[in-house]
Amino acid sequence: MNNEQKYLVPAPEQPGSPSSVERIAFYQAPTPEPEPQSNALPISHYLWMISRHKWRLLLFVGIAVASTIAVSSRLTPYYSATATIDVDRMAPNAVIGQEANVGRSTTAADSDLFLSTQISLIKSDSVLRPVVQKLKIKTSTPKPGTPKDPLSEEAPVVLPNLTVTRPPKTYLLEISYRDPNRQFAAEVANAIAKSYIDHSYAIRFTASGMQASFMNRQLEELQAKMERSAAALVQFERELNLISPEERTSILSARLLQLNTEWTNAQADRMKKEATAKGARSGSTETLEATAQGEQIRRLAERIAEENEKFAAVKAQYLPNHPEYKKAALRQSQLQQEFENLKVSVAKRVEAEYREALDREKSTQEAVAETKKEFDQLNSKSLLYKTLKRDADADKTLYDELTRKIKEAEINAGYQGSSIRLADLARPAKNPIFPRIPINALVAFVVSFVLGIIVIFVSESMDHTLRDPEQIQRQLQTEILGALPVVKAWRGHLPGVDAEGNRRQLMGAGGGVANTYEEAVRTLRDSILLPNADRRPKTLLLTSATPREGKTTTAVHLAVVHSQQKRKTLIVDCDLRRPGVYHHVNLQNDKGMSNVVNGEAKWRELIQSPEGLPYLDVLVAGPPSRRAADGIGETLRELLAEAVNEYDLVICDAPPLLGFAESLQIAALVDGVVVVALAGQTERTAVASVLSNLKRLRANVIGLALNEVRSDMSERYYYYGYYGKYYSRYYKPLSS
């Protein structure tokens, strides 16, 4: 017994089993929607894409690298020579003067600006033109017979092969020149460096000369101005008859300060004596006692007080006519008269002192006013004198400073400073810098490799055909039931069956890829029937989106492998427009399904059985008929209702779904639909449209079968390459 006969034979259908309509409804029950999957592709898929086109990629990279090497080897080699300029930012610009002791600014911003300026200066026409004229460098190659253009000769000189760079974080400038002649490249680089140094010196010398010339013109004007200011100062001193008005002003200022002090003291003394005089006029004893003669008045007042006490005692003892009384009264009267006379004398003296103080105050005030007037007059003249003297001194100082600057500029103009110096002479290079064949080859390799990968990814992304099972499942949300490999021997015609070798030619003939195809069909059979043992479909539709996708071949071979399990199988050719099942099994097509639809015969009467396949029955399409194709729906409904009780599996081969209505009618009648598509040729949009129509009809779409699959279409098809080797060693075709 062969391997195909090891499958279990299904038990016969028991009485009371569900009807065909109930079973179809059972298979068409809605299934839960699959969860959306991520559209991100794994890295392994991209690696496989590269591996798939590796020979094309390697060929493209090899051609690119070889072309680059060939072109680079034919190019004229160029040598580069570099002269190094050292720019000392701390070196002084002059020999004497303030600039000789002060270095330049060394801030980062100032240094960058300065060095950028020097780079532009090196590339300027003033530096390059002397070098071009001296070494006779050709800046452009005129066409033969073209007259000389005077404007082009006057245009700024530009050397395309000149490069001026600054090494990072340094004060160095590298002047590089490229030329096929290595010695000439070194000469040009050194000449440009020297021309740059000479040009820098010439600029500084010219600037110093212009500065000196300008200062000489200003010196003449300043000398005349200084003479005028000095003459005005001398004339003013003569008019004042003073050598130094400042000293006279200082004397008057001190005198005025002293007179102000005396005037202030005189005012205070006058006010004090004026108050004393007013008190004396009023007869106030207390005021008189406060004067210089106040002591005499106090003593006399005390004597009067004593005499009054004595007189009071005498008065108490004696009568007015008593001699003692009269004597005491006389003394008292004399003392009182003496006191009055003293008060009058003191009052006169106080009045005289007040008048004297008033006169002194007036005289002091007049002296202050006179001195202040003299001081103001002298001060105004002194201010004018100071102005004249300051102008004269300023003119003289400026004249002396300008004279010194002119002498310094004349000396510094001839000084060729070392702030810009040639640090390293350019020497002829040993190796050319262009072309660099290894680097060019490496760049060509990297660029061509990356470009090739990009082209691979772009071409793969623009390929909208069905190839990778994982991608199909993710985008179409449907199962991939199997992948049928391509059989090159079948291209252009269909495999036939003869009377003696039906099985060998139909299945497994010749081994190799055909055996691989046979195993793929068995895998497709098991993928359809085994996953749902309790819901195994009994009627099956095989269709496609467009014609010539191998649905008929797949249907026939699927029926064959199912019948080889000793299960009764019926294949019905429902493609009444373009029948093809009869050709695969080498049967006659004179009568068939079209006759059944037209009511000319019963379907059981037209059943045929291929030789060597006892469990397989075939109902061919019969003569092509468009009218019969339009009425196939109701006839097929009755046929399927009867056939499911006699056969384990009924397979219907229908026209493509896109553009033909009968396929949709059949899809609504069968237990399951399998869509066949050509790998690498069928568009995803076409299959998506088919699946959308089937879903709208609530048909049970079991999955998708890919036909004519090659191992290079997806990383999941690699195992097809091993089937042929396996069969060639261990498998021998069975006889019928």
pLDDT of residue 688: 83
Select from 662, 675, 673 the least CA-distant residue to 636: 662
**Phi and psi at residue 469, in whole multiples of 5°?**
-60, -40
pLDDT of residue 59: 93
The low-confidence residues of the chain, meaning pLDDT below 70, are 1-41, 45, 90-108, 140-153, 237, 239-249, 252, 279-294, 377-383, 410, 412-418, 463-464, 466-468, 470-471, 473, 475, 487-515, 532-534, 711-736
SS3 for 391-456 is HHHHHHHHHHHHHHHHHHHHHHHCCCCCCEEEEECCCCCCCCCECCHHHHHHHHHHHHHHHHHHHH
Rg (CA), the chain: 67
pLDDT of residue 330: 81
pLDDT of residue 84: 94
H-helix or E-strand spanning residue 178: strand 172-179
Measured CA to CA, the distance from residue 66 to residue 89 in angstroms comes to 50
Dihedral sign computed on CA atoms, order 69, 70, 73, 75: negative
* Per-residue pLDDT tens over the stretch 99-155: 555 555 556 677 888 889 999 999 999 999 999 999 988 876 555 555 555 666 678
DSSP 681-723: TSBHHHHHHHHHHHHHTT--EEEEEEEEE-TTS-GGGTTHHHH
* SS3 at position 676: strand
pLDDT of residue 735: 31
H-helix or E-strand spanning residue 359: helix 323-413
pLDDT of residue 317: 79
Whether 178 and 434 have beta carbons less than 8 Å apart is answered as yes
Select from 79, 273, 254 the least CA-distant residue to 176: 79
Residue 41 backbone zone (phi > 0: left; psi -120 to 50: alpha; other: beta):
beta
Q: What is the pTM of this model?
A: 0.48
